Amino acid sequence: MLLGPALVLSSCAELRIHSRGHIPVWIGPKPGHNHYIEIEGKRQFFLWGLVPDVHEVNIDDELHEAGLLSAANVSVTIEQSWGSFFKEILSLGIYVPREYKIRAFGVVPKDTD
């Protein structure tokens, strides 16, 4: 009877956050980085987070796609909304969504003129 909730609550979903250096990314503040951006994303896992075993999130690709040339004061949070939690519970862990937010201040092309 407790096996279902135990499997759901012990899922192995792993988001691996990294940067490949495509654009300059700093954790702390930098002068000239005045454009605030917030990116929300979601990765989907299945079978208690076992498939796929890891999802990778490339910070600089996400920030570059949002239009930044450079980013500073970057923070990343991995979250689970109530909606995602209930989807995971109702599916008995077969569907395991994970959300993330990337917040940063950056330089956009018009800032370089």
Q: Which residue has the higher pLDDT, 33 or 97?
A: 33
- State the pLDDT at residue 101: 93
Q: What is d(CA 103, CA 87) in angstroms, rounded to the nearest whole number?
A: 26
pLDDT at 105 over 90: yes
Q: pLDDT band at 5, cuts 50/70/90?
A: low
Summarised one tens digit per residue, pLDDT across range 24-61 is 888 888 888 889 999 998 887 778 666 776 777 888 88
Distance CA(71)–CA(50), nearest Å, equals 33
For the whole model, what pTM was predicted? Answer: 0.75
Kindly indicate the confidence band of residue 3, based on its pLDDT and cuts at 50, 70 and 90.
Answer: low
Domains of the chain, by residue range, sit at 3-112
State the greatest distance between any 2 C-alpha atoms of the chain, in Å, as a whole number: 64
| Cα–Cα distance for residue pair 35/110, rounded to 1 Å | 10
Kind plus residue range of the DSSP H or E element containing 82: helix 82-90
3-112 fold: Translation Initiation Factor IF3 (3.30.110)
Amino acid identity at 108: V
Measured over the CA atoms of residue 30, residue 31, residue 35 and residue 36, the dihedral's sign is positive
Q: How confident is the model at residue 89 (pLDDT cuts 50, 70, 90)?
A: confident
* First and final C-alpha spacing in the chain: 64
Q: Hey, is 47 helix, strand or coil?
A: coil
State the CB neighbour count (10 A cutoff) for residue 41.
13
